[in-house]
Structures are given as structure tokens and as C-alpha cells.
Amino acid sequence: MQHYIWHASALHQALPAFLKRVGYSSELGILSPLDSKTLNSDALSLWLTNSAAQLDVGIQGVAINYLTLEQVLEDAGPAILPLPNEAGFLLLLGGNRKTLRLMDTHQTICKVAVETVRHMLAGHLETPLRPTLNKTLSQLSITGKRYDKAMRAMLRQQLSSAPVGHCYLLRLLPGDSFWKQLCLIRFPSRVSAFVLSMLAAQLLALMGWVVIGETIFHTTGFHGMLHLWALLLLTAVPLQMLSIRIKDSISLDFGCLLRKRLLDGVLQLKSAEVRDQGSGSFLGQVMNIEFLEGQCLSMVFVTFMALLQLLLAVGVLAMGVGGWVHASLLLAFLAVFFWLAIQHFSRMKAWILHARKLSFDLTENMVGHRTRLAQQHPDALHTDEDALLAHYSKLSELLDRSEAIMRSLVGRRGWLVVGCIGLYPALTTSQADIQSLTISIGGMLLAALSLDQLTQSFRHSMAAWVVWEQIHYIYQSSSRRLQQPSPRLITSTEIEQREKNHPMLTTQGLSFAYSHRQILDDCNLRIDAHQHLLLEGDSGGGKSTLAALLAGLQHSEAGSIQLLGLSYAQWGDDHWRKQVVIAPQFQENHVLSATFAFNLLMGRQWPPSREDLIEADKICRNLHLGDLLDSMPAGMQQMVGESGWRLSHGERSRLFIARTLLQRARLIILDESFAALDPETLKIALQCVLKRSNALLLIAHP
């Protein structure tokens, strides 16, 4: 066996060393061994998920087919590649079109040809076809390089959609140290390269002006100085292009990391946090993220370039006719600029916050527009909007005044006036010479151009800072996953044994309060396997709160919940919610603007297999949704939701029930899922639920 193939029994030692090698971890963790006797895709996926959680990294399984194999090998690293027929594993660090870098069994890096690894993964698919294809190519007298190309093309045609296996991508968790993630994309070195290239370009441009001055005031060697000036300009152009390219690549990678972190932060928000924010607030946050990603780092670079040019302008002015007095005048002008910029920032912050509030309220009013028209008095429809617009107009006026001051008094125009005043004492003396005066004027113009850039970049940077203050809590929420204890490895065999010896779910002393109101107090509950419970009670009695606690959507203030004798922390978020699935109340459940099949199978793997679609169709027909499927032109591939086929209240309710049943959970919770159904349809749907559920908790009104 090749030295770079890892056996399943050694994978628990290889994975920590592999993560340390790629820079994702600094310590070697201790993992439980992978049981090679009962090894299958589900057991491997479960073991990798638990091991990755213990090592604080993310893992994602990606299905590979024959056509995408080479592209996956080129882009996947770091990743784990299981070989067919349980022949072992490859630990891929990265690679290119020709060679791949693998970690061998001695924990060193070795290079292997892409063709070798591709054959190891897909050779079992190609071998049965090669004799027939070889015979065909021989009859056509195709040999040499043409033979290899023709064979590859025919294999791709024959095996275009054939599954090869899975690739498990290893990535840092989005909530991990942001600086660590920046270091992995070589952010510090790339920023250093940008600074050096930009500084070199600016110095060359400045030297070009020095050469022009020398040429004008000293006519000797005119052609040589002209050639030197052209050489300096031609050298500065590629350096400036290089700095722009580095800046764009850094901005793109930084934006991707930031967006991943913010997206993960949104997914880490608690249900109560999501519920307390309206659709207008979410729209505003999306707008904020778009603005921050597009402006944040770009404006930082522009600001840095402007400050760099201002420092060069200070040096040029010091060499001019005004000397350090003139340069000190520029520094004092910059101090006034920053003082006024702080005041401008406070006004801009108030304006942006109020503008966002207008967007929030407009969106909320659009969502509830029909209710307002039906129930609100016509004379009061625009009262709040008029007050908000009046305040917005006042804030806009203050911001415009501040903007005018920034652009005129402390911008380019203001500095040119101040700079000319600074030249006046030198001009009134006989010490001023034309060469020194020219240097001073050049420094003034350089500072004026830099102030224009600084004013523009400051305006965007301050707006980005205001946006950052609004979405910082989303950025911080991404780190919540790292603060949770690592779940233990629970195999399917252990789950089956525990199901025989433990109740499905138990609660002891469960308590929960909301807004200083006690909802649950010392609640004890037991649900056994294959047991179906009906929970009835008045509105506001805590039924939905109890369901949310059991499903892991909320966490209790006191007491404990155990599933098959294990706590929530031992299971972990992902595994608990796979075992306990809830269909929330109608107003908290949603039909997404996607296909009917996606809305059904969003809790399963996607894209679905043929068996998944068959099972989904069968459950829908058992829930009396057969007429709906037959009436939709595209069947289960029909687009539904706000921008597609509209579903009735009862059809949505049964869609939510089918979505829950298709997740094959051990405990299903239906929160008033039958409230919108007529008695006959309710009876049919209830029979389907009772037949297909293991343990069931049904919540309803008396």
C-alpha cells in the first residue's frame, strides 16, 4: 500500500496532525478511534462531524461525480478523501492541475500526480468500460496522444453523472479568530506588499517631478533628463497597477471572510432574537452588510493612500520656500480637518440611523398594508410618516452644511487659500527663489489632491463605521458555537441500545420565564418510544414554549431535558435537532420561494435522491395533497411561495407536516398543525402522522 494512504484505524491520530499541518490548530487533540468493523458512509460522516466539533473546525461533505472529480481535487484542500471499497483515506492539503500535496503516514508532505489519485478514486468505474472503448479506438486506428484524448472523452461521455464518492472539506469555523483566518489568506504579507508597491510608485512619481524641475532650471543634459523622466514614469505605472491588483484581491478575500462570518452569525441567533426583529430590520441589515462589504476595506486603502500622499506633501513643503513653517501649517490644517470630521461623523451617524429607520418602517408598513387600510383611521395613515420625514429633512440640512464645510473650508479650496497665505511671508523677502517657490507650489497641489481623496474616503469610512456598529452583534454571535461544549460521539448502535433502556425524552424541574412572566415552573414530562401524546391547554399557557424547549429552539433557565438518557450538551445542537423535529405554529413556519420538492426535503440532503422524491410524493398523497401535485404543471418541481404557485392555508399546513415527517426524527412535535384542516382532511392527515411517527407530541387547543 502507498505510504500516503491512511487506514481507518489511524484516522483519529492523523486528523489532529493534519489540522496542525495546515495551520487550523496549534495543539494535537485526542479523538476516539473510528470503528473500522462497522464502517459505512453514515458512520464515517457521524465520526468526522463529532471529531471536527471537538477540534473546533468545520467540516462539509461534498458529493463528487466523474465530471467534477478533477476540479474537486484541484480546489478542495484541505480535505479528507475516502477511497472506494474502504481502501483507506487520503489527506489532501492542496494542489494544481498536475500534482497534489498529500500528508503521508509519516506526517510529512509528499507530491502525487493528479492522474494517480484520480485513478484511485474512479478507476473502478473506468475499468469495466476500457476493453470495449479500447476495441472501438483500435478499429479506428487511433494511437498515441490522440488515443489518450479520445479515451478520456469517451469515458466522460459514458460516466458523466456517475457518482465517485464524497470529499470532506475542512475549514475554520467562521466564528474562529478573524485574525487567524486573515493570516491563512496571507493578509499581512499582502498588505505589506501593497504598502511597499504604493510607496514605491509615489516616490517614483515624486522623483519624476524632481527631474522635470531639474530639466527646467538646468538646461544641460536635456535629452538625458527627459529619458530619465520617461523611465521613472514607466516604472511607476506597473508598480501602481500591481498595488491596485493587490488591493482588489485583498478586498475580495476580506469581503468573503466577512460575509461568511456575518452569515454564520445570523444562523447563530436565537429564535427569540429573530422573532423580536421585524422584516424591515432584516432588510436593513442586508443593506448594511452589502454596503460594509463593498466599502469597508476599499475606503481604508484609499484613506491610507491619501495619508501617505499628505506625508509626502509635508516633506515637499519643508524643502520649499516656506520651509518647516509652511509644512507645520499643513499639519495644523489637518488637525482642524480631523476635528471637523469628528463633528461631521456624529451628524452622519444620526442621519444614517434615521434613514435606516425610515426603510425599516416602510418595509413593515408594506407588509401590513392591507391591515392598515382595513383597520387604521384614514386621517392617521400618514401621521407618523410625516413626523419622521420632517426630522429626516432637518438632519439632512445639518449634514449638508457639514458636508459643505468639509468640502470647501477644510477641503482642497480651503487648503489652497491657507497655503497661499503661508507663502506670503517668503514672497515678501528677497530670499525666495523660483526653484524653491516651484517646490512649494508642487507640495501645495499634492496636498490639495490628497485632501480631496481624504474627504471622499472619510465620508465612506465613517458611514461604514456606523454600519459596523449596527451589525457588530451579528459578528459577535458567530463565536457562540465556539463557547459551547463539544458533543460526544453517539453512534447509531448506541442510539438503538439506549432506545431499549431509556425513555425517549424526559424533563425534570423545567422552568422558563419571558419578560418577567413565569411561563413554565417545575415541569416534569416523560415520553416513551412509540408513544403518542396530546397536549391541550388555553392560549398563553406555555404549550408552544414547552415545544420550543424540547426541540432545542429555546433553553430553560432551570431543570434538565434528556433525550435517551443524554443531555442537550452531550448531543449537541445539530444531532439533537435531527432527533427531535418540530413543526412550529403556522405564523412561525414558512414556504420558501423555491420548488415544492425543496420545501418538502429541506431537512434532508440536497439535491435529493430518486428514493427521497418517491417517499416525499407518497407522504404528500397520504396527506391528501395528491390533487395539488396533479394540478401543478411541474409537479414537485413547481415553484411555490410568494413568487410562485400560491398554496392555501390548509395546503401549507400539510406541507409543513410532510416536511417534518420526511426528516425521520425519533420524536416529532406538531404545534397546532391541524388547526386549519376540515374534519375529513384532519382525520386523513392524522392517520398518516400516527402511522409514520415514532414518538409524537401533538399540541392543540381543547
Burial 36-63 (b: 16+ CB within 10 A, else e): eeeeeeebbebbbbbbbbbbbbbbeeee
Alpha-carbon distances of 69 from 89, 122, 158, 385, 645, rounded to whole Å:
16, 9, 15, 57, 37
Average pLDDT, the chain: 82
Residues 363 and 369: their CA atoms lie apart, in Å, by: 10
235-267 pLDDT tens trace: 888 888 888 888 888 888 888 888 888 888 877
Q: Which pLDDT does position 36 carry in this prediction?
A: 66
558-580 pLDDT tens trace: 888 999 888 888 888 778 888 89
Q: Which pLDDT does position 591 carry in this prediction?
A: 87
Nearest to 458, CA basis, from 362, 337, 570, 584? 337
- Residue 618, pLDDT > 60, answer yes
Coil vs helix vs strand at 37: coil
111-141 pLDDT tens trace: 888 888 888 888 888 888 888 888 887 877 7
136-150 pLDDT tens trace: 878 777 777 788 888
625-665 pLDDT tens trace: 999 999 999 888 999 877 667 888 889 999 999 999 999 89
CATH architecture of 8-172: Alpha-Beta Complex (3.90)
Phi-psi sector, 517: left (phi>0), alpha (psi -120 to 50), beta: beta
- Residue 219, pLDDT > 60, answer no
Residues 494 and 523: their CA atoms lie apart, in Å, by: 28
- Residue 473, pLDDT > 90, answer no
Band (506; pLDDT cuts 50, 70, 90):
very high
Q: Average pLDDT for residues 216-222, to the nearest whole number?
A: 62
Length of the chain, in residues: 702
Report the greatest alpha carbon distance in the chain: 107
625 touches 638 (CB < 8 A): no
Amino acid found at 41: S
644 exposed, middle or buried (CB, 10 Å; 0-12, 13-18, 19+)? middle
**Could you identify the residue written with the cell 416529532?**
668
Residues 597 and 634: their CA atoms lie apart, in Å, by: 11
Q: Which pLDDT does position 216 carry in this prediction?
A: 67
- Residue 444, pLDDT > 80, answer yes
280 touches 359 (CB < 8 A): yes
Q: Which three cell numbers stand for residue 224?
A: 538625458
Band (533; pLDDT cuts 50, 70, 90):
very high
Band (25; pLDDT cuts 50, 70, 90):
confident
Amino acid found at 96: N
Q: Which pLDDT does position 621 carry in this prediction?
A: 92
CA angle (587 as vertex; 586, 591 as ends), nearest 5:
75
HSE (side-chain half, CA atoms, 13 Å) at 61:
15
Residues 589 and 92: their CA atoms lie apart, in Å, by: 41
Band (278; pLDDT cuts 50, 70, 90):
low
Residues 253 and 256: their CA atoms lie apart, in Å, by: 5
Residues 6+ apart with CB under 8 A from 233: 204, 205, 208
Q: Which pLDDT does position 423 carry in this prediction?
A: 78
Pick the CATH number of 492-700 from 3.40.50.300, 3.40.50.720, 3.50.50.60, 3.40.50.2300: 3.40.50.300
Q: Which pLDDT does position 300 carry in this prediction?
A: 75
Q: Which pLDDT does position 50 carry in this prediction?
A: 79
- Percent over 70 (pLDDT), the chain: 89
Q: Average pLDDT for residues 305-331, to the nearest whole number?
A: 84
Q: How many CB atoms are closer than 10 A to CB 588?
A: 15
Domain with CATH 3.90.70 in the chain: 8-172
Q: Which pLDDT does position 26 carry in this prediction?
A: 63
Q: Which pLDDT does position 282 carry in this prediction?
A: 63
Residues 173 and 176: their CA atoms lie apart, in Å, by: 5
Band (319; pLDDT cuts 50, 70, 90):
confident
Q: Average pLDDT for residues 688-693, to the nearest whole number?
A: 91
- Residue 1, pLDDT > 60, answer no
Q: Which three cell numbers stand for residue 211?
A: 527631474
Query: What Rg, from alpha-carbon coordinates, does the chain have?
Result: 34
Domain with CATH 3.40.50.300 in the chain: 492-700
